[in-house]
């Protein structure tokens, strides 16, 4: 008999993790530093601390295996949305015809945060540290609007001004996200804007310029350098963001234990900049590296329209197209890469977190990719089976979990599969509408286009012997 009282595995608010898991000291090969785009050398502490909150810069390079979460921040996590539930996907298992105890599917529900995704896990931490540093404004860019809403919410809790440069194409396409940010008193500017040097020339040439993440990053970084009291905030890619997200994987481990599972067989997450995947994967990856769970399979999922890990080159590259953000060593499609307009806006970044690149190169994790149509279809099936309509980004993980379950059934294998449900899709209904009306299309990136984007990118030449 199925025990539906065990379908949602909950933790007590007091079980919010007391620390974050820092994978840096356990990585099989050393982590590469952030490079200053001005001189091609590792960014000195003072420079990085002029851009990001100070504590975050310390965390970026820390070699401590765990970093304590301040008590006040744990309380804010608890008051806001943590711990989040882990669900046994009974409905999905039934829909796939894999019901029983041989194949188990679990998902960690990060969509229950106030803004509907995992983004507040780092937004709350960054706003907390900014407040502690006496900073009174955080500025950032946003594409689809998930990160902008997360940070606006975080800043509202700490009475800090939040300014968001939102790519104009999204600003017009997703008015709901803009309204949500404004509800938290976030200042939202369509980018390119007339408020910065970096945006003005584009804006004056064409007030309807659709913008890009590259331009929005340049505007946000420029804005942050206006005053000592302003800092720039990032929602993915860098080490400290991946670190903050490890509450996700740690809670999942505790919850699986409550369900009588020592270690899952397969761990899955979707990958844009790599933060929600890292948050889920890092605690499991550490167990794998240390030999405590050598056989665990950890899979990151990308869109076929933007496969930075599966098809990109591992090299030094700029974080943004304007070359103002730090240079990172990562899998990249080139900083000028303009992805097709897929609905999974959060997965359209040209690179990936250096932590993810490192784990991939060392064989700790693997990567795969899916098409837009098949992932939206998976999302519709998930909605019918489990009730929540997933974000287009999240659907990549949903699709892979379904594939793995069906594969296990075919091979008559016992598998426990767990995936991160990074967010809901209630601000992304247009994607589903287009699917229903047959307007949605696949974008496959040809090998030729990928090579051209990488070759044309004039990657920075970094002298690694100097550090
Ligand atoms: C932002 C976002 C992503 C992609 O970002 P990562 O840093 O790769 O996690 C994925 N899912 C949702 C719901 C998002 O909002």
The tens digit of pLDDT for each residue in 186-232 reads 999 999 999 999 899 899 999 999 888 888 988 999 999 999 999 99
Separation of CA 390 from chain center: 15
Q: Which is nearest to 307 in space by CA: 363, 370, 255?
A: 370
Residues near 298 by beta carbon (within 8 Å), at least 6 away in sequence: 266, 267, 268, 281, 284, 285, 288, 359, 364, 365, 366
CA dist 250 and 16 (Å) reads 9
Cα–ligand 1 centroid distance for 93 (angstroms): 25
Residue with tokens 């940070």: 151
Please compute the mean of the pLDDT values over residues 79-101 and round it to a whole number: 97
Residues within a 6 A CB radius of ligand 1: 117, 119, 146-147, 236, 270-277, 346-347, 391, 393-394, 422-423
Task: Output the pLDDT for position 212.
Answer: 83
The rounded percent of the chain whose pLDDT value lies above 90 is: 87
Please compute the mean of the pLDDT values over residues 361-379 and round it to a whole number: 97
Q: Which atom of ligand 1 is nearest to the CA of 111?
A: 13
Band (325; pLDDT cuts 50, 70, 90)? confident
Mean pLDDT of the chain: 95
Please compute the mean of the pLDDT values over residues 332-350 and round it to a whole number: 85
Cα–ligand 1 centroid distance for 205 (angstroms): 32
CA dist 371 and 137 (Å) reads 39
| pTM score, whole prediction | 0.97
Task: Output the pLDDT for position 202.
Answer: 92
CA dist 322 and 202 (Å) reads 13
Band (3; pLDDT cuts 50, 70, 90)? confident
User: Which of 84, 110, 119, 121 for mutating ligand 1's site (highest number of atoms within 8 Å of CB)?
Assistant: 119
Q: Which atom of ligand 1 is nearest to the CA of 116?
A: 13
Band (169; pLDDT cuts 50, 70, 90)? confident
Residue with tokens 């890469």: 337
pLDDT at 176 over 90: yes
* Cα–Cα–Cα angle for 432, 277, 218, rounded to 5 degrees: 80
What CATH number labels 8-15+69-116+245-454?
A: 3.40.50.1100
Bond from prior residue into 172 cis (ω within 30 degrees of 0): no
CA dist 444 and 140 (Å) reads 30
Three-class secondary structure of residue 390 per DSSP? strand
Band (340; pLDDT cuts 50, 70, 90)? confident
Task: Output the pLDDT for position 158.
Answer: 97
CA dist 291 and 400 (Å) reads 25
Cα–ligand 1 centroid distance for 347 (angstroms): 7
Please compute the mean of the pLDDT values over residues 233-254 and round it to a whole number: 98
Instruction: Give the tens place of pLDDT for each residue, 16-66.
Output: 999 999 999 999 999 999 999 999 999 999 989 988 999 999 999 999 999
């Amino acid at each position: 008999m199925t025990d539906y009282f065990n379908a949602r595995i909950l933790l007590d608010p007091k079980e919010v993790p007391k620390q974050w898991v820092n994978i840096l000291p356990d990585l099989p090969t050393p982590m590469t530093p952030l490079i200053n785009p001005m001189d091609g050398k590792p960014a000195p502490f003072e420079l990085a601390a002029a851009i990001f909150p100070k504590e975050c810069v310390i965390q970026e390079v820390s070699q401590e295996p765990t970093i304590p979460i301040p008590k006040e921040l744990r309380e804010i996590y608890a008051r806001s949305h943590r711990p989040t539930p882990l669900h046994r996907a009974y409905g999905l298992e039934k829909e796939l015809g894999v019901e029983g105890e041989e194949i188990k599917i679990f998902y960690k529900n990060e969509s229950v945060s106030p803004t509907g995704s995992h983004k507040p896990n780092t937004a709350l931490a960054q706003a907390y540290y900014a407040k502690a540093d006496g900073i009174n404004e955080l500025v950032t860019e946003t594409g689809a609007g998930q990160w902008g809403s997360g940070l606006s919410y975080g800043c509202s809790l700490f009475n800090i001004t939040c300014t968001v440069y939102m790519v104009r194409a999204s600003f017009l396409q997703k008015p709901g996200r803009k309204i949500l940010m404004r509800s938290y008193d976030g200042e939202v500017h369509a980018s390119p804007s007339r408020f910065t040097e970096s945006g003005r020339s584009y804006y004056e040439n064409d007030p309807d310029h659709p913008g890009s993440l590259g331009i929005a990053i340049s505007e946000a970084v420029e804005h942050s350098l206006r005053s000592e009291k302003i800092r720039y905030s990032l929602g993915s890619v860098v080490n400290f963001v991946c670190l903050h997200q490890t509450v996700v994987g740690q809670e999942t481990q505790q919850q699986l234990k409550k369900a009588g599972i020592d270690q899952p067989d397969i761990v899955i997450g979707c990958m844009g900049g790599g933060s929600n995947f890292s948050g889920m994967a890092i605690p499991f990856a550490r167990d794998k590296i240390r030999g405590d769970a050598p056989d665990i399979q950890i899979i990151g999922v990308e869109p076929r329209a933007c496969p930075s890990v599966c098809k990109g080159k591992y090299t030094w590259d700029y974080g943004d197209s304007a070359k103002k953000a730090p240079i990172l060593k990562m899998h990249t499609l080139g900083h000028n890469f303009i992805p097709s307009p897929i609905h999974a806006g959060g997965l359209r970044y040209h690179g990936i977190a250096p932590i993810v690149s490192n784990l991939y190169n060392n064989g700790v994790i693997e990567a795969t990719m899916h098409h837009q149509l098949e992932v939206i279809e998976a999302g519709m099936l998930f909605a019918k089976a489990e009730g929540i309509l997933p974000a287009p980004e999240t659907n990549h993980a949903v699709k892979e979990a379904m594939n793995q379950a069906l594969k296990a059934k075919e091979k008559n294998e016992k598998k426990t599969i767990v995936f991160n449900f990074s967010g809901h899709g209630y601000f992304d209904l247009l994607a589903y509408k287009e699917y229903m009306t047959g307007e949605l299309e696949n974008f496959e990136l040809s090998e030729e286009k990928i090579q051209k984007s990488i070759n044309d990118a004039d990657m920075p030449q970094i002298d690694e012997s100097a550090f």
